[in-house]
Amino acid sequence: MHSYAAAHHKTIMAVDIAGYNNPSRTMAHLREVHEGLWRVLRTSFAETGIPWDSCFVENTGDGAMILLPPDIAKADLVAQFPARMRDELRRHNHVHAAEAQVQLRLALHAGEVAEGSHGSISKAVSFTFRILDAPEAKAAQKESKADLALITSDLLYQDVVREDPAADPRSYRRIPVKVKVGEAPASAWLRLLGAVTNGFPVRVTAVPASREAFSLLVEALLTVPCVRKVESRRLVLELLSRREIADVVPYHAEDRLHVIALARTCLRFTHGLDDLLDAIKTIEPESPQVTSLAEIIRTWPS
């Protein structure tokens, strides 16, 4: 037997208030923001049927860390809880000045957690806070003005979100996660709720930076075997994580015309080319053609 308490599997929730230390907030504003956070959390838990008292709750200053017991269904957390929280945020923000309004980032993960003499000990908890601080999630929320940015680990997305249509898996997109030197690359999944636009913002114009640049992009796509061939191109469309892109690509029987339509459609959406590249890499993770395409997409004008 161990001389220390064994770790237990927990669902991990980390919450952070966006722009908490904004200089425009006075101490009175911060008090309203702080009280609003805990009111939103408690009400959202109650409306989802999750007993607050069964959870371990820790105040992190500008947010919270909550450990949920294994008997709380993860499906409820991704299918019901986010919409409840978005609604509570709207209620709070409707009756408060701009400086006292609350936007939240919420990260969900699961893993083994042990109890130490001064708090929780867990690699899974550390990773949850890593995805909570993902720069791309912060930037997307700021751009869209979303009330809630929901970030799930790839593990939770694949095992729970993707398996439940009620969780709206098509509204998520994959984002990179910063890792420390020596660690393997990681990714998470982001969904915006209560945004000014529905989902990720659509660009005002679909016109490429130049005809030459667009032609170069099309030619690079056509050199990739899984894009050039019609059968595998269908698979690329199926693998696109955002169905709002894949579902509106016009079909053309001629390969070149279909690839042009695919490129033009992806350019209509913020990070659309990145999503396309992710789908292609799933089929062809390493090839000179994909490397060249990735460089074109990396340097594509904003």
**What average pLDDT does the chain have?**
87
Mean pLDDT for the stretch of residues 72-93: 92
What is the rounded CA–CA span in Å between residue 263 and residue 41?
Answer: 42
Mean pLDDT for the stretch of residues 43-58: 93
> Each residue of 274-301: pLDDT tens digit?
999 999 999 998 888 998 899 888 888 7
What is the rounded CA–CA span in Å between residue 33 and residue 21?
Answer: 11
Mean pLDDT for the stretch of residues 101-119: 88
> Each residue of 14-27: pLDDT tens digit?
999 999 999 999 99
Is-above-0.75 flag for pTM?
no
Which pLDDT score, from 0 to 100, does residue 253 have? 86
pLDDT at 134 over 60: yes
Q: 179-214 burial, b if ≥16 CB within 10 A, otherwise e?
A: eeeeeeeebbbbbbbbbeeebbbeeeeeebeeeeeb
Mean pLDDT for the stretch of residues 55-78: 92
For residue 25, what are its two tokens?
A: 């907030």
What is the rounded CA–CA span in Å between residue 90 and residue 78?
Answer: 19
The three state secondary structure string of the chain is: CCCCCCCEEEEEEEEEECCCCCCCCCHHHHHHHHHHHHHHHHHHHHHHCCCHHHCEEEECCCEEEEEECCCCCHHHHHHCHHHHHHHHHHHHHHCCCHHHCCCEEEEEEEEEEEEECCEEECHHHHHHHHHHCCHHHHHHHHHHCCCEEEEEEHHHHHHHHCCCHHHCHHHCEEEEECCCCCCCCEEEEEEEECCCCCCCCECCCCCCCCHHHHHHHHHHHHHCHHHHCHHHHHHHHHHCCCHHHHCCCCCCCCHHHHHHHHHHHHHCECCHHHHHHHHHHHHCCCCHHHHHHHHHHHCCCC
Which pLDDT score, from 0 to 100, does residue 300 have? 82
Fold classification of 8-193 is Alpha-Beta Plaits (3.30.70)
pLDDT at 176 over 80: yes
* Cβ atoms of 66 and 48 closer than 8 Å: no
What is the length of the chain? 302
Q: Where are the domains of the chain?
A: 8-193, 211-298
pLDDT at 263 over 60: yes
